[in-house]
Amino acid sequence: MNDLASLAERIINGSIEVIDLTSPLHSRTPILQLPPAWGQTRPFQLEEISRYDDRGPAWYWNNFSTGEHTGTHVDAPNHWVTGRDRGDVSQIPPDRLIGPAVVIDRVAEATANPDYLLDVQDLEDWQQQYGPLPKAGWLLFRTGWSARGDDPERYANADDQGSHTPGMTLAAATYLAATDLLGVGVETVGTDAGQAFGFEPAFPCHAAVLGAGKCGLTQLRNLNRLPVTGAVVIAAPLPIVTGSGSPARVLALAEK
Ligand code: MN
Asked if residue 225 has pLDDT above 90, the reply is: yes
- pLDDT tens digits, one per residue of 189-208: 999 999 999 999 999 999 99
* Ligand 1 geometric centre to CA of 211 (Å): 14
Cα of 17 vs centre of ligand 1, distance in Å, is 28
Residues 218-227 have a mean pLDDT of 98
Taken in order of first residue, the domains within the chain and their CATH numbers are: 18-29+68-255 (3.50.30.50)
Q: How far is the CA of 206 from the centre of ligand 1 (A)?
A: 9
Q: How far is the CA of 75 from the centre of ligand 1 (A)?
A: 5
36 — pLDDT class (breaks 50, 70, 90): confident
Residues known to be catalytic:
79
How sure is the predictor about 212, in pLDDT bands with cuts at 50, 70 and 90? very high
Q: What is the pTM of this model?
A: 0.97
Residue 218 Cα to ligand 1 midpoint, Å, equals 7
DSSP secondary structure string, the chain? Answer: --HHHHHHHHHHTTSEEEEE-PPPPSTTS------TTS--PPPPEEEEEEEEETTEEEEEEEEEE--TT-SSEEEPGGGSGGGTTS--GGGS-GGGSEEEEEEEE-HHHHHH-TT-EE-HHHHHHHHHHH-SPPTT-EEEEE-SGGGGTT-HHHHH-EETTEE---EE-HHHHHHHHTSS-SEEEESSSSSS-TTGGGSSSSSHHIIIIIHTT-EEE-S---GGGS-SS-EEEEEEE---TT-SEEEEEEEEEEE-
How far is the centre of ligand 1, averaged over its atoms, from the C-alpha of 50 (Å)? Answer: 31
Span from the CA of 204 to the centroid of ligand 1 (angstroms): 13
- Residue 134 alpha carbon to ligand 1 centre in Å: 23
pLDDT computed for residue 33 by the predictor: 87
Residue 104 CB contacts under 8 Å (≥ 6 apart), including other chains: 118, 122, 123, 126, 139, 140, 141, 142
In this predicted model, what pLDDT tens digit does every residue of 67-118 receive, in sequence order?
A: 999 999 999 999 999 999 999 999 999 999 999 999 999 999 999 999 999 9
